[in-house]
Amino acid sequence: MKGHMSDKTNAPDVMSVSRRGFLKGFGAGTAATSLLSPLSLREAEAAERGAVGPNEVPLTLLVNGQNRSLNVEPRVTLLDALRNRLDVTGPKKVCDRGTCGACTVLLDDKPVYACSILALEAEGRKITTVEGLGTPERMNAVQEAFVKHDAQQCGFCTPGFVTAATAFVRSHPNATVEQVRAGLGGNLCRCGTYAGMLLAVADAAAQKGGA
Ligand code: FES
Ligand code: FES
């Protein structure tokens, strides 16, 4: 009890000292920073946080095994950087808000929505788009299975599905159709070509697993 009483007695002093100290420091800081213009104040704050921009900054992205240098504003998404700056147009821009999966790319071999991360965040990581998964002459197992099962209509969702499915098949060899359905739940097809796509991915998974 005594200990508690003494804590209570001391507490206001500690609080008032630290509050006074804080206000004193704040006053000094205000005086110093008031000499700066609003813009340079923002820049000083940004520099303190390690922030960059708002103007373009240089960066290098490792896309499909090639280092690609570009300048972008820090607000630019990976999807816009790929499509508009690097002419890598396999990933599609549909919802631009992380719901449809048309923009799917692999980041360090994991599927991500390229519309939902910044280009800056992808620097130093391995980016693979549908262009990097195979060529018309040398398709990967998922691409071949999509052709075999005629798994597309307009084809706009296809690059995202193929990319997501490639990652899925690698980690789920011998997946059943039901597992494929659950695994590709992050991608939408507005044409409703799901039946063909599910069979294609299950087929590719079977080949991957040696079944
Ligand atoms: S465009 Fe990225 S999730 Fe739809
Ligand atoms: S094939 Fe047209 S949106 Fe999927």
Does residue 201 carry a pLDDT above 90? yes
From the alpha carbon of 161, which atom of ligand 2 is closest?
4
Does residue 9 carry a pLDDT above 90? no
54 pLDDT tier (thresholds 50, 70, 90): confident
- Among protein residues, the one whose CA lies closest to atom 4 of ligand 2: 189
Residues 84, 48: Cα–Cα separation, whole Å: 31
Ligand that comes closest to the CA of residue 82 = 1
Whether 134 lines ligand 1, by a CB cut-off of 6 Å, is no
**Ligand 2: which residues within 6 Å by Cβ?**
152-157, 189-191, 193
Q: Both tokens of residue 53?
A: 């921009």
Task: Please tell me the distance between residue 198's alpha carbon and the centre of ligand 2 in angstroms.
Answer: 13
Q: Both tokens of residue 181?
A: 């359905």
CB 79 within 8 A of CB 119: no
Residues 165, 146: Cα–Cα separation, whole Å: 10
pLDDT value, residue 51: 77
Task: Please tell me the distance between residue 106's alpha carbon and the centre of ligand 2 in angstroms.
Answer: 20
pLDDT tens readout for residues 113-166: 999 999 999 999 999 999 999 999 999 999 999 999 999 999 999 999 999 999
Q: Both tokens of residue 198?
A: 């599910």
pLDDT tens readout for residues 73-113: 999 999 999 999 999 999 999 999 999 999 999 999 999 99
Task: Please tell me the distance between residue 156's alpha carbon and the centre of ligand 2 in angstroms.
Answer: 5
Residues 102, 164: Cα–Cα separation, whole Å: 10
HSE toward the beta carbon, residue 28, CA cutoff 13 A: 5
CB 79 within 8 A of CB 103: yes
Whether 96 lines ligand 1, by a CB cut-off of 6 Å, is yes
Strands (E), the chain: 57-63, 66-72, 104-107, 110-113, 126-128
Does residue 66 carry a pLDDT above 50? yes
Name the range with the highest mean pLDDT among 24-33, 45-54, 168-177: 168-177
Q: What angle is formed at CA 203 by the lines to CA 201 and CA 205, rounded to 5 degrees? A: 70
pLDDT value, residue 46: 60
From the alpha carbon of 189, which atom of ligand 2 is closest?
4
CB 187 within 8 A of CB 167: no
DSSP state, 124?
T
Straight-line distance from the first to the last Cα atom of the chain, in angstroms, rounded to the nearest whole number: 73
Average the pLDDT over 188-207 and give the result: 96
Tell me whether the omega of the peptide bond preceding residue 54 falls within 30 degrees of 0, making it cis. Answer: yes
3 state SS of 117 = coil
Place of tokens 């609080």: 15
52 pLDDT tier (thresholds 50, 70, 90): confident
Average the pLDDT over 33-59 and give the result: 68
53 pLDDT tier (thresholds 50, 70, 90): confident
Among 13-17, 36-40, 97-101, the range scoring the smallest mean pLDDT is 13-17
Average the pLDDT over 31-41 and give the result: 50
Ligand that comes closest to the CA of residue 194 = 2
The model's pTM: 0.77
Q: What angle is formed at CA 129 by the lines to CA 175 and CA 85, rounded to 5 degrees? A: 160
